[in-house]
Amino acid sequence: MTTDPRSLYSLIPSTDRLLNAGEFAGLLADFGHTRVVATLRQMQDDAREHIRQHQSLPDWCADWAGALGCRLASARQSALRPVFNLTGTVLHTNLGRAIQPQEAVEAVSQAMASPVTLEYSLEGAGRGHRDQALAALLCELTGAEDACIVNNNAAAVLLMLAACASGQEVVVSRGELVEIGGAFRIPDVMRQAGCQLREVGTTNRTHLKDYQAAVNDQTALLMKVHTSNYHIEGFTKSVSEQELVTLGDTLGIPVITDLGSGSLVDLSQYGLPAEPMPRQLIAAGVSLVSFSGDKLLGGPQAGIIVGKKALIERLQQHPLKRALRADKMTLAALEATLRLYQHPETLAERLPTLRLLTRSAEDIRAQAERLLAPLQARYGADFLVAVEPCLSQIGSGSLPVDRLPGAALTFTPRDGRGSTLEALANGWRAALVPVIGHISDGRLWLDLRCLEDEAGLMEILLS
Ligand SMILES: *Cc1c(COP(=O)(O)O)cnc(C)c1O
């Protein structure tokens, strides 16, 4: 190309000339005049800048329509793009945790598109209360007297503390002062709720007498926090909810529990590690139990509090409830998800979280074997492609020490270079539907536990 910058600048077409070219008609119809013109102006600036720096036209100037189409399409990509989660973590917080059941998807579309009886009682033709319909379902599933639903479990904990113990003391074991990730730490939430934290016991051992000694006329609550994302082993002792409730009853102080994940069904019946259930704590006499909607429950992001009627009533009346309440889409999705629990026989099939968690290692391995040959044909020159056993994680702080045996496809670069591996991982992350695996041991692992759309994945990997 010529190096006289002045003649190079004259090769940048005017906006009018570009817009009148027939090949722009489709883009104008698709994206609209305003966006097309703004993007073309940006491209002209970019071309001028390129000439200033390199004394040449950028390559894309050979096809303005094509380059414009690419820019517009990539700017239109959603911020919430669907991906293949082959990380091996089923409830992946950064990938949006639980995938919703089809029933929830339909319920949400309906709630979005039409007025609904959110806070409207058809019997009384007046105002109802937005958690009412779901409270009945939650009571049936947990044995509680009433329920309250907020934005997430962090909000649930904040609301419980603010409504029941503001300006007073809450007794918690030192071994349960957890950090969940992000800015959620029990001592900080306590402060935000206006409560005074009374730590008792030690990191590894807390006894009933420690709680007993800490109680005074300022004590509003005894609190248990499920240590969901870590595990202490060895010389340990903690006080069960049951024991704490007995103490609380004699002193007239309610016991509350932040259960974190909280499964509504006994997971051990599916061969999964057991996780404490809200129903058990309610039966033990705990006054309020909070848990997440999008962890083991497998529904939308929500914080669910179940427990005694009088205390739930206090939560419903508190001004923070208004700030933390769930919206109609969340409530619609949660209701549809909870209804699946009323039919436990089909739960493991219809609830995606449970369906993925209960996939057998043999099933996943068979799937990996099916995909192996075409992937070897496509990638075999540069990578050793193999099927390997692996251990998946439930994720979201649930059951951190328990792993689920499964299978993965692994890609080991024949040249032994980390850069070759990175390039493969980057290429897949940049795909139309990004494929997300993980690198360890000098290999790229695609854990297939969460792969349901086999054909869709192969289309991406073989393209
Ligand atoms: C996950 C978790 C939370 C936070 O729940 P979100 O629904 O993510 O807000 C709080 N407490 C415990 C014990 C948890 O495991």
Is the pLDDT assigned to residue 2 strictly greater than 60? no
Measured CA to CA, the distance from residue 229 to residue 231 in angstroms comes to 7
Residue nearest to atom 13 of ligand 1 (CA): 260
Residue-range domain boundaries for the chain:
5-76, 84-93+356-462, 139-325
Using the atom order of ligand 1, give the atom closest to the CA of residue 228. Answer: 15
Q: What pLDDT is recorded for position 45?
A: 96
Query: Which of 161, 292, 394, 399 is the pocket-test mutation for ligand 1 (most atoms within 8 Å of CB)?
Result: 292
User: What percentage of the chain carries pLDDT values higher than 70?
Assistant: 97
Confidence at 178, pLDDT banded by 50, 70, 90: confident
CATH number for region 84-93+356-462? 3.90.1150.110
For a ligand 1 pocket test, name from 95, 157, 184, 259 the mutation site with the most ligand atoms within 8 angstroms of its C-beta. Answer: 184
180 CA to centre of ligand 1 in angstroms: 6
Would you place residue 240 in the very low, low, confident or very high pLDDT band (cuts 50, 70, 90)?
A: very high
CA distances from 215 to 22, 162, 210 (A): 81, 19, 9
Say what the pLDDT of residue 125 is.
61
User: Are 461 and 375 a contacting pair, CB within 8 Å?
Assistant: yes
Question: Residue 120 pLDDT > 90, yes or no?
Answer: no
Cβ neighbour number for residue 373 with a 10 Å cutoff: 11
Give yes or no for residue 290 CB within 6 A of ligand 1.
no
Question: Among 114-128, 132-146, 147-161, 283-297, which is the least confidently predicted range?
Answer: 114-128
Residue nearest atom 12 of ligand 1, based on CA coordinates: 260
pLDDT(3) > 60: no
Query: Which region, left, alpha or beta, applies to residue 183 given φ > 0 means left and ψ of -120 to 50 means alpha?
Result: alpha
**139-325, CATH topology level:** Aspartate Aminotransferase; domain 2 (3.40.640)
| Pairing status of strand 255-260 against strand 184-185 | unpaired
At 230, list the tokens: 């870590």
Q: Ligand 1, closest atom to CA 226? A: 13
Atom of ligand 1 nearest to the CA of 178: 13
* Cα 31 to ligand 1 centroid, rounded to whole Å: 42
Q: What is the pLDDT of residue 311?
A: 98
Tell how far the Cα of 261 is from the centroid of ligand 1, in angstroms. 7
pLDDT of residue 398: 63
Which residue, among 411, 398, 370, 439, has the nearest Cα to 89 in the 3D structure?
Answer: 398
Ligand 1 atom closest to the CA of 301, numbered from 1: 7
Do residues 442 and 412 touch, judged by C-beta distance below 8 A? yes
Tell me, using a 6 A CB cutoff, whether residue 260 lines ligand 1.
yes
